[in-house]
Every structure is written in structure tokens, then in C-alpha cells.
Copies of this chain bind each other. A is one copy, B any other.
Amino acid sequence: MPIASQIKKYMADSSWIRRMFELGIAMKRERGDNNVFDLSLGNPVMEPPPEFIAEMRRLLDDLPAGSHRYMPNAGYTDTRAAVASALAEETGLAYEAEHVMMTVGAGGGINAVLHALCEPGDEVVIFAPFFAEYLFYALNHGATCVTVGCDVEFTPSLVELESKITSRTKVVMINSPNNPSGRVYTAEFIRNLGLLLQRKGKELGTEIYLLSDEPYRKIIFDNQLYPFPQRTYDKTITVTSHSKDLALPGERIGYVAVHPGYEASEELMDAFVFCNRVLGFVNAPAMMQHAVRALQHVTVDVSDYERKRDYLYQVLTEAGYRVFKPEGAFYMFPQSPVGDEMVLVEALQRHGVLVVPGRGFGMPGYFRISYCVEQHVLEGAAPGFQAAAKELRSKS
């Protein structure tokens, strides 16, 4: 058997998102592109903002010799400084270049962080519903995930969290705005989470890190403000990418930032940079580091996502679905009208609509819709949502 047994096993239970993606390709071949409405993948249909293309052109004219060579594994100092300065402005904390490492997307950043922190057998707490790749990210480095549930509006249960923190808890991961629920955790929740981790860390005499995965931080609706966890808790490690805010997911450019006030921030950063190197990332792509330096204050047009949210929310609620109105990101996570969401997912498939079952996010009974698609795809999917809900209601 050529493949390692654990990898074979992981591949077998692997991503629902990917399975839906492949099913979508097969369905399009069979039924024609215009009759399949693929809402399974978080691959933004939006183009990068014009500032990005302009900056790339400028760079090709202006870049000095050596601009595609290796640089220090943490990235270019001026790019790190630009990120730090924007982060300082947003948070009011004294971020500087030394607190930032440029990474191969957020996925690369999370892996570098977990590789640096986790001993075999350590525990990483994640909140359901969660991005399923977190399970693999923990396993990659010998850690295991412990899952904590949430209330009906997708706010994680701090009571359950408290009961699940042990002396092996190395990292608690949050993802707000949340994929798949679209929830932006409230300032109150974020503050209480920080206070709880402080208290438990003291009680247990351990360092518990809060890994805040924030790729959707700038995609927030209704003029809400983003509550920064590092304002309460100095063991916060921020990981994000420009995949969504600059619509560059294929380019793999993101960063990790440590809290400027945390006493061991230099030690952490040294370890992250080392792990970024030895995991084979080496450094974030040079050209993208050059490009995002000047784009820290640029974001895609969020109002476009907001309009799509409003449209889809109306379609779903009118069709009788129970759904939380997202506050950010570009996903919706409605409850299935029948307990086994696979029945709903299959009914939607018969109508040419592809969504991802909630079990792929640790929450059976729900399903995820990705609405970062063209408006005509959403409109095309609407009759399918209505018909599937009607069918299932008439059967139950």
C-alpha cells in the first residue's frame, strides 16, 4: 500500500465541500452549465480591486533587482511594517513589523502556528460550526480537535468551553465572521472568552493561545464593528489572508501577527518563522508581498455581498427556511426542514442546486450556502430552494 494509512483514512472522510465541487462538475456535464447552481464553494466570483492590477503594473516597471529572491523567512520588512501599521490603526495596539510574519495564505499561517505550539497529544478547541480543514490542520501536527457547541444564533457556549479546557489545551480557535454561519461574534462574547481563557490559564498554570482566524474580518455588513480579541487577551495570535478582502485566494498571501504586549511574543514569532521555513512554505510569495504592501487599506466592494445576502435571505425565509441572517463573510447556514440534512441536500440536487451538508462543519441538520457567486446563479437557485422545501414539508 503506497499511501500512509492515516492519510488514506483522512481522505476517505475528507471534505464535503470538495465532494460537492466534484459532483457539480459532473452535474454540469450532464445537465448543462445553465441548469446547475453551484453554491458549494467559497471561491469569490469577485475580481481583485482595480488598485491591485494597477499596483502589479507599477511593480513590474519599478521593482529593483533582487525582488524575486529569497528574503528572510518572515517576509519583507516593509511589507510586515505596512501590515503592522494597518493592524495598529484598527486595533489601537502597538503592532510593529517584528510582530508580523507574511504567510502562504491563512492555511499556511495556521499550520506554522500549530506546528510551533503543539506537542503530540495536545488539544485544539474549535467551535461548531467550523471550517472542516481545522480538523486536518490539528492532526498534521499530532494534536486533536475538541469541539464545543453553540446556541441557536451560533454563539459558542462558554460554559461548555470551560468544561472542556484541560491541561492539554494548547490552542482555542475562533473564526469570526464565521464560515459557515456568517455570525460575527459579539464584543461581549469576545471579551468573556478572553477573560475565561485568562482565568483558566492561571488556574491550570498553562499558556492557552487564542488563534483568531480572520479571513473575513473586512467582510462585515450593516456597518458593524469587528471586535478584536487581542484587546482583551494578549495570548491572541491573529491569522488572516487577502484571499477574501482582496479576492486573491489563488495567490496564497496572508499573515500571522502576535500581540505586541505579550511577554513571549518574540519567542513565539521566532518559532513561527522557523516552522514556516521547515514546513516548506519558506516564505510568502514575493510578488504578492510586494503587491499587498500598498493595499492594506483596500477592500473589495462589500456592499455587493451585502445585497446578495439580503436577496438570498429573503428567498429562504419566504420559502420557510429557518436561517440566521449573516453579519459577515459570504455564507448562509440554514436549518434543514427535515432532521437529516442529506435528504434536503439531495432534494436540492434534483433541482440542480448544490450546497454542503452541515455535518461537513460539525453540525448535522444544517446546510451551507456559499453566496459569493453571480446574482443570476442565486436567482437560478431560488426556485430549487422553494421546491425542495415544499416537497419535504408535504412528506413530513
Tell me if A136 is interfacial: C-beta within 8 Å of chain B: yes
Tell me if A33 is interfacial: C-beta within 8 Å of chain B: no
| Closest beta carbon of chain B to A350's beta carbon, Å | 26
Q: From known contacts A104-B252, A116-B4, A252-B281, infer whether A43 and B56 are also in contact, taking CB-CB under 8 Å.
A: no
Rounded to whole angstroms, the CA-CA distance of A247 and B65 in the bound complex is: 11
Please state if B2 and A250 are interface contacts (CB–CB under 8 Å).
no
- Interface size, A (range): 35 or more
Please state if B41 and A70 are interface contacts (CB–CB under 8 Å).
yes
Tell me if A69 is interfacial: C-beta within 8 Å of chain B: yes
Please state if B280 and A104 are interface contacts (CB–CB under 8 Å).
yes
Please state if B116 and A267 are interface contacts (CB–CB under 8 Å).
no
Tell me if A356 is interfacial: C-beta within 8 Å of chain B: no
Tell me if A349 is interfacial: C-beta within 8 Å of chain B: no
Which of A85-93, A270-278, A319-327, A376-384 has 4 or more CB atoms under 8 Å from chain B? A270-278
Residue of B nearest to A22 (CB): B72
Tell me if A282 is interfacial: C-beta within 8 Å of chain B: yes
| Closest beta carbon of chain B to A173's beta carbon, Å | 14
Rounded to whole angstroms, the CA-CA distance of A163 and B245 in the bound complex is: 55
Interface residues of A in 37-55 (CB under 8 A from B): 41, 43-45, 47-48, 53
Which residues of chain B come closer than 8 Å to A8, judged between CB atoms? 271
Please state if A280 and B107 are interface contacts (CB–CB under 8 Å).
yes
Which residues of chain B come closer than 8 Å to A41, judged between CB atoms? 70
Rounded to whole angstroms, the CA-CA distance of A235 and B209 in the bound complex is: 42
Which of A153-161, A187-195, A284-292, A306-314 has 4 or more CB atoms under 8 Å from chain B? A284-292
Tell me if A225 is interfacial: C-beta within 8 Å of chain B: no
The interface centre, meaning the residue of A57, A108, A280, A286 with most chain B CB atoms within 10 A of its CB, is A280
Tell me if A204 is interfacial: C-beta within 8 Å of chain B: no
Rounded to whole angstroms, the CA-CA distance of A28 and B337 in the bound complex is: 69
Please state if B119 and A285 are interface contacts (CB–CB under 8 Å).
no
Q: From known contacts A3-B268, A116-B3, A119-B6, infer whether A283 and B250 are also in contact, taking CB-CB under 8 Å.
A: yes
Which residues of chain B come closer than 8 Å to A142, judged between CB atoms? 142
Please state if B285 and A250 are interface contacts (CB–CB under 8 Å).
yes
Which residues of chain B come closer than 8 Å to A44, judged between CB atoms? 69
Which residues of chain B come closer than 8 Å to A274, judged between CB atoms? 7, 10-11, 14
Q: How many copies does the complex hold?
A: 2
Tell me if A264 is interfacial: C-beta within 8 Å of chain B: yes
Tell me if A150 is interfacial: C-beta within 8 Å of chain B: no
Residue of B nearest to A44 (CB): B69
| Closest beta carbon of chain B to A88's beta carbon, Å | 23
| Closest beta carbon of chain B to A183's beta carbon, Å | 23
Which residues of chain B come closer than 8 Å to A281, judged between CB atoms? 104, 107-108, 252, 280-281
* In the complex, per-residue mask of A129-143: 1 if CB is within 8 Å of any chain B CB, else 0: 000010011001010
Please state if A247 and B56 are interface contacts (CB–CB under 8 Å).
no
Q: Among B3, B53, B137, B252, which residue has its beta carbon within 8 angstroms of that of A283?
A: B252
Rounded to whole angstroms, the CA-CA distance of A173 and B136 in the bound complex is: 26
Which residues of chain B come closer than 8 Å to A270, judged between CB atoms? 11
Tell me if A279 is interfacial: C-beta within 8 Å of chain B: yes
Q: Among B5, B45, B66, B251, which residue has its beta carbon within 8 angstroms of that of A285?
A: B251
Tell me if A207 is interfacial: C-beta within 8 Å of chain B: yes
* In the complex, per-residue mask of A246-269: 1 if CB is within 8 Å of any chain B CB, else 0: 011111110000000000100110
Rounded to whole angstroms, the CA-CA distance of A248 and B137 in the bound complex is: 28
Q: List 28 A-B contacts (CB under 8 A).
A: A2-B207, A2-B267, A2-B271, A4-B116, A7-B116, A7-B274, A7-B275, A11-B274, A43-B69, A45-B69, A47-B65, A47-B66, A53-B60, A57-B57, A67-B250, A68-B248, A69-B247, A133-B277, A136-B278, A137-B278, A250-B283, A250-B287, A252-B252, A252-B283, A252-B284, A253-B285, A279-B279, A280-B281
